[in-house]
Structure 1
Amino acid sequence: MGLANCPECGKLYVENTSGLCPACYEVEEYEELKIVEFLREQGKASIEEICKATGVREKTILRMMKRGRFKGTFDITYPCESCGANISEGRLCPACSKNITDQVKESNERRQEQDRDGVRIYTKSFFKK
């Protein structure tokens, strides 16, 4: 395990799975409880509504959602990182994810074709007259 700077407070800490120093992780746990309590009362809310009601920053809420902290429990959406469409899990909407997958497949196919085109055997140099 290595050392890292906490993205929230900048303190040096031993890397862990949360990606935060212990103090900031405790704060995030408390903020998560506030969000869950609010969502239990409201049922459905936008990120902006959650921010206003709980005082938790949008950046923190998005990080929690991307890590799956509210998965399947509440109906919250956030924007796809590529096109901005509303999604409820992951970083990309299904359309953007498929688009990227298709581009990677196409790139791999082109590379394989180029590799096949570059493999030729020239026999003139093998045989002397």
Structure 2
Amino acid sequence: MGELANCPNCGALFVKGARSVCDQCYKEEEAAFEKVYSYIRKKENRRATLSEVAEATGVEERLIMKFVKERRLHTSQFPNLAYDCERCGNPIQEGKICGNCRDELQRDLAREEAAESIKEQQGKDKSRTYFNVDQKFRRH
């Protein structure tokens, strides 16, 4: 069963479950989706950019980006519907970050793991060090 939540769009109280917005906002989003989809389905509009679609349909760019992120609008069919990478701002068509940022984060992570591995190995080496106490220097 869902939990009670406030709609992020209008603030109305609703039971959060499969949808992240209230019924009224969901209906409005569906109407906006139909408007956007019918616009970009036309052959002459398939290469429209995000801002061009927003201007022509009156639907907010934020909502169109939501449709793309939810994969309701496939960028393979509409190649100019791109949105910004959350890290650097370059235009992307899927995911949250671009390929360059992803590669950079993977390199940084690999570097961090290598540094941790070296520290761990150094700690193990120190624990293997044995000291021999010469008998003549021992106190009785």
- Same-fold status (TM-score > 0.5): yes
- 1:88 is matched with 93
Partners of 1:122 and 1:61 in 2: CA distance: 63
- 1:111 is matched with 116
TM superposition shift of 1:37: 0.6
Structure 1 ranges of 4+ moved more than 6 A: none
Q: Is the 8 A contact 2:46 2:77 kept in 1?
A: no
Deviations 1:54-92 (A, max 9, x none): 111111111221121112332211222222222111111
Gaps of 5+ in 2: 132-137
- 1:64 is matched with 67
- 1:20 is matched with 21
Residues 1:77 and 2:68 aligned together? no
Tell me which amino acid in the other structure corresponds to 1:121.
Answer: R
Change (3 A) 1:33 1:104: same
Tell me which amino acid in the other structure corresponds to 2:111.
Answer: E
Deviations 1:98-124 (A, max 9, x none): 111221222122122222222223545
Partners of 1:2 and 1:121 in 2: CA distance: 55
RMSD over equivalenced CA pairs, Å = 2.1
Identity across matched positions, percent = 30
Q: How many residues align?
A: 126
Change (3 A) 1:67 1:118: same
Q: Is the 8 A contact 2:47 2:78 kept in 1?
A: yes
SS in 2 for 1:4: strand
**TM-score with structure 1 setting the length:** 0.83
- 2:135 is matched with none
Deviations 1:24-65 (A, max 9, x none): 122111111110111012111111111111111111111221
**TM-score with structure 2 setting the length:** 0.78
Whose radius of gyration is greater, 1 or 2?
2
